[in-house]
């Protein structure tokens, strides 16, 4: 059975190794996932760790069209994290690559493994600003006001 394509949004973040290069390469890796097509990419942002410690992050959001189910897409994202050397020694540890499935079409689901939309997407400047690059109508002035205390800057090395 061929599934209709679904538009999904994925948050990308890295703060270990060459984080900028990792995020750039991850956009390319997302475009090569089976049954997926990269449809959009935000600018790149530098952010201070939020509810975590360690070096600054490079963050972005990707818009993809996929025929994978949400759990299968999550599996594919975790493979990319593992390929980038992701380790999980403790919650919110610094990471070579972090990929969060923010939204999967209009899906609403809650399981021990996956909640959609992502439960904290409106609480994080590193999600709101890049998401606004792709879907400005989804991010309100009130949303941005709520994260005003979180440090975030557009990187000059922005991908067009």
Which of 24, 43, 98, 122 is flagged as catalytic?
98
DSSP 128-140: HHHHHHH-GGGS-
What is the percentage of the chain residues whose pLDDT exceeds 90? 76
Query: Could you state, in order of their start, the residue ranges of all structural domains in the chain?
Result: 6-154
* pLDDT over 90 (residue 86): no
Q: What angle do CA 49, 113, 15 make, to 5 degrees?
A: 20
Residue 158: pLDDT band (50, 70, 90) is low
* pLDDT over 90 (residue 134): yes
143 is annotated as an active-site residue: no
- CB atoms near residue 42 (< 10 Å): 25
Extract the tokens encoding 125.
């400047």
137 is annotated as an active-site residue: no
Give phi and psi for 39, each to the nearest 5.
-110, -20
Which of 24, 41, 43, 95 is flagged as catalytic?
95
pLDDT tens digits, 40-55? 999 999 998 877 778 8
**16 - beta bridge partners?**
none
Give CATH for domain 6-154: 3.30.70.560
CA 41, CA 60: separation in Å to the nearest integer? 7
* pLDDT over 80 (residue 129): yes
Unique residue bearing structure tokens 């956009």: 27
Sign for the CA dihedral angle at 155, 142, 62, 77 comes to: positive
Unique residue bearing structure tokens 């049954």: 35
- The per-residue pLDDT of the chain, averaged, comes to 91
DSSP 122: G
CA 149, CA 128: separation in Å to the nearest integer? 13
86 is annotated as an active-site residue: yes
Q: Which of 75, 70, 77 is nearest to 27 (CA)?
A: 77
100 is annotated as an active-site residue: yes
- CB atoms near residue 147 (< 10 Å): 18
How confident is the model at residue 52, as a pLDDT? Answer: 74
* pLDDT over 90 (residue 141): yes
How confident is the model at residue 92, as a pLDDT? Answer: 67
How confident is the model at residue 49, as a pLDDT? Answer: 85
pTM of structure: 0.92
């Amino acid at each position: 059975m061929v599934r209709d394509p679904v538009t999904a949004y994925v948050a990308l973040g890295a703060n270990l190794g060459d984080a900028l290069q990792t995020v750039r390469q991850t956009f390319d890796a997302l475009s090569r996932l089976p049954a997926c097509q990269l449809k959009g990419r935000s600018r790149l942002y530098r952010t201070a760790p939020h509810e975590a410690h360690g070096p600054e992050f490079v963050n972005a959001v990707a818009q993809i069209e996929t025929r994978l189910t949400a759990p299968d897409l999550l599996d594919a994202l975790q493979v990319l994290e593992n390929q980038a050397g992701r380790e999980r020694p403790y919650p919110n540890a610094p990471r070579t690559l972090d990929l969060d499935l923010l939204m999967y079409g209009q899906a609403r689901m809650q399981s021990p493994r996956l909640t959609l939309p992502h439960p904290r997407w409106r609480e994080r400047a590193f999600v709101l600003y890049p998401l606004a690059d792709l879907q400005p109508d989804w991010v309100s002035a009130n949303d941005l006001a709520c994260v005003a205390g979180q440090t975030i800057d557009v990187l000059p090395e922005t991908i067009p």
